[in-house]
Homo-oligomer: A and B are copies of this chain.
Amino acid sequence: MSNKKVWPGSTQLLPIPAVLVGCGNGREMKYNLLTVAWTGIVCSDPAMLSVSIRPERFSYALIKRSGEFTVNMPSRKIASALDYCGVVSGRDHDKFNECSLTARPGETVQAPIVAECPVSLECRVSKTLELGSHVMFVADILAVQVDESLISNKGALDVRQADPIAYAHGGYYGIGDFIGGFGFSVKKKDGAR
């Protein structure tokens, strides 16, 4: 236990998800992608998440207007695309095309999922909160699309194979080794009795 340094408040939550948000409808609103780490689960029932976006981003107006988006979790294979979609703007870049990613309409929303991402969440905005630099979209998760190859016989998702990307303090990281399942501390104690 070392001494503590006290820093002013900042966004040092770690690790957090690094995802591709899909928006637009492929018609009057062209498909676009935005890299987001300001996202998290906010409710279990109904299943909901939040995504926070700066209002000056091109994707903001698309989501505001359509009320729909997708959250796509890239594997390490497309980490470079994940980063690129956070650097350039959809105003003057066709990110799907430039990154060789495939847009497919969602099952429940018109926003596109990224076919190359192992897991995608289809979301519909239910609340919008203006917080400062960012606007928070709170959204229902209507459907989950998962690569069939990642689903075990028991119907569970193979997280290690999905190989999702975490963001921490300005860098991208892979997921590490499995530490235990929820409740492992109690099971261990039980076993030791």
How extensive is the interface on chain A, given as a class? 35 or more
A-B contact pairs, 8 of them (CB 8 A): A6-B145, A42-B52, A44-B133, A86-B182, A87-B186, A159-B171, A164-B168, A165-B179
User: Which B residues are CB-close (under 8 A) to A150?
Assistant: 2
Q: What residues make up the interface of A, taking CB atoms closer than 8 Å to B?
A: 1-17, 19, 37-50, 52, 71, 73, 76, 79-81, 83-84, 86-88, 102, 107, 113, 115-116, 119-122, 127, 129, 131-134, 136, 138, 140-151, 156-157, 159, 162, 164-166, 168-186, 188
User: Which B residues are CB-close (under 8 A) to A136?
Assistant: 42-43, 50, 138
- B7 contacts A71, C-beta separation under 8 Å: no
User: Which B residues are CB-close (under 8 A) to A183?
Assistant: 83, 87
- B9 contacts A141, C-beta separation under 8 Å: yes
Give CA–CA (A178, B174) in the complex, Å. 7
- A41 contacts B13, C-beta separation under 8 Å: yes
- A52 contacts B47, C-beta separation under 8 Å: no
User: Which B residues are CB-close (under 8 A) to A80?
Assistant: 180, 184-185, 188
